Amino acid sequence: MSDSASIMPEHPPVTDWVNDFDHTDPTWTENPFPIWEKLRAASPVVHTERFLGCYMPTTYQAVKEIAYDTDHFSSRRVIVRDVRPEITARAPPITSDPPEHKPAKQLLLPPFTPDAMKKLEPRVRAICNELIDEFIADGKCDAAARYTKHVPVRAIAHMLGIPEKDGDLFIKWIHGILELGIKDDNALMDAVREMTGYFAGHIEHRKQNPTDDLISTLMNARDKDGNPLADEHVLGSLRLLLIAGIDTTWSAIGSSLWHLAKTPADRERLVAEPELMPLAVEELLRAYSPVTMAREVVKETTVSGCPVKPGNMVLLSFPAANRDPSMFPDADKVVIDRKENRHAAFGLGIHRCVGSNLARMEMTVAIEEWLKRIPDFRLDPAGKVTWSEGTVRGPRQLPMLFGKAN
């Protein structure tokens, strides 16, 4: 049993959500929305003794207060887990606090502007069509396994300058870090070690054979004193870009297609009025935000009047904030042309997702190309939709049938 020494006992099922929440409970994984409603009705901030102590802000306002307060809430740990081992593998800028955060973030921003994404868009459109070509004749597919997963894998591989065919490796590491790693420290450390070795090899290769991809951009970056970044910084940022660039958008595209599969009115409207796509993408991001972040409380304070104590983690649920009815009328309804939509799917404050423009472009293109080729589709009643657990939520099995229902 020595191999599983780091695996914590399975979590007991939750019976009291308000005082004992658990974002890895199967009920939460399957359908978190009624749980969030219950928690929000109880308090703007709830607490659990699980995960060595963890708060969760339940309202948009409380999430925003924490996201903006880098004095009391550190980003040094960004995943709520059963264990809190010493921090060894950083991933700047997501794990950085001020003042280190800003220079680390600014290095990554120029390659991800909307203009930079426009240049990448034709490649992503081609990727989508290559994928659809592989399954459209079958009349059905598991859209999570055959389509939504591969779009971000190939796009980020293209940007980083690493082989798209290594995608299965990336998916394995991400599963180890974002899902298994919540309860199994070995799974997380193994994945981090393998990723680090993988990128170290690519860096070494570029020392002899310079390229113009994102890996080289980071290798060539200089700090304000003109010095290159430490290897650990380059490797950490590369790990971040790969981890954050795949599961997230895989989930967002998958949830969008899941919604459209079971909502013919929205699907038909998008086919008939493609100009609605920008508003629709924002609304799908709001309603099915994939990413829940974390903070660690480092100084005592209050959030929306609730006391918050150091030693606890914070489950920073942007998805729950985006379902807060005091911020969004009809919050639990997808209003496909919602006009006013200050959603926080990409975070709020200094840690706004560096890849948000990439994610939006991939979502838009992936939905557009799917609707052009497969305007009618529905969930396959013979299959089962399954959802990922924990930090990033989206469909991991998404069986679809194409064509109109008889």
Q: Tell me which residues touch other proteins (CB under 8 A).
A: 106, 109-110, 112-115, 278, 282, 339-344, 346, 348-350, 352, 356-357
Tokens of 194: 């393998």
Q: Which residues pair with 34 in a beta bridge?
A: none
Residue 330 beta carbon to other proteins: minimum distance, rounded to whole angstroms: 16
Residue 104 beta carbon to other proteins: minimum distance, rounded to whole angstroms: 13
Tokens of 322: 């985006």
Kindly report the number of other CB atoms within 10 A of residue 34's CB atom. Answer: 12
**Closest to other proteins by CB, 3 or 115:** 115
Angle at CA of residue 356, ends 72 and 277, nearest 5°: 135
**Closest to other proteins by CB, 184 or 282:** 282
**Burial of residue 237 (number of CB atoms within 10 Å: 0-12, 13-18, 19+):** buried
**Closest to other proteins by CB, 42 or 109:** 109
Residue 20 beta carbon to other proteins: minimum distance, rounded to whole angstroms: 31
Backbone angles phi, psi at 106, to 5 degrees: -65, -25
**Burial of residue 110 (number of CB atoms within 10 Å: 0-12, 13-18, 19+):** exposed
The answer to whether the peptide bond before residue 310 is cis (omega within 30 degrees of 0) is no
**Closest to other proteins by CB, 114 or 122:** 114
Residue 113 beta carbon to other proteins: minimum distance, rounded to whole angstroms: 4
Instruction: List all residues 6 or more positions away from 146 whose beta carbon is below 8 Å from its beta carbon.
Output: 131, 134, 135
Residue 287 beta carbon to other proteins: minimum distance, rounded to whole angstroms: 15
Q: Look at the block and give the residue holding tokens 């070509």.
A: 133
Residue 299 beta carbon to other proteins: minimum distance, rounded to whole angstroms: 23
Strands ordered across the beta sheet of 377-379: 140-142, 399-402, 377-379
Residue 188 beta carbon to other proteins: minimum distance, rounded to whole angstroms: 29
Residue 367 beta carbon to other proteins: minimum distance, rounded to whole angstroms: 16
Residue 342 beta carbon to other proteins: minimum distance, rounded to whole angstroms: 5
**Closest to other proteins by CB, 234 or 327:** 327
**Closest to other proteins by CB, 253 or 345:** 345
Residue 108 beta carbon to other proteins: minimum distance, rounded to whole angstroms: 9
Instruction: List all residues 6 or more positions away from 240 whose beta carbon is below 8 Å from its beta carbon.
Output: 91, 92, 93, 94, 95
**Closest to other proteins by CB, 121 or 190:** 121
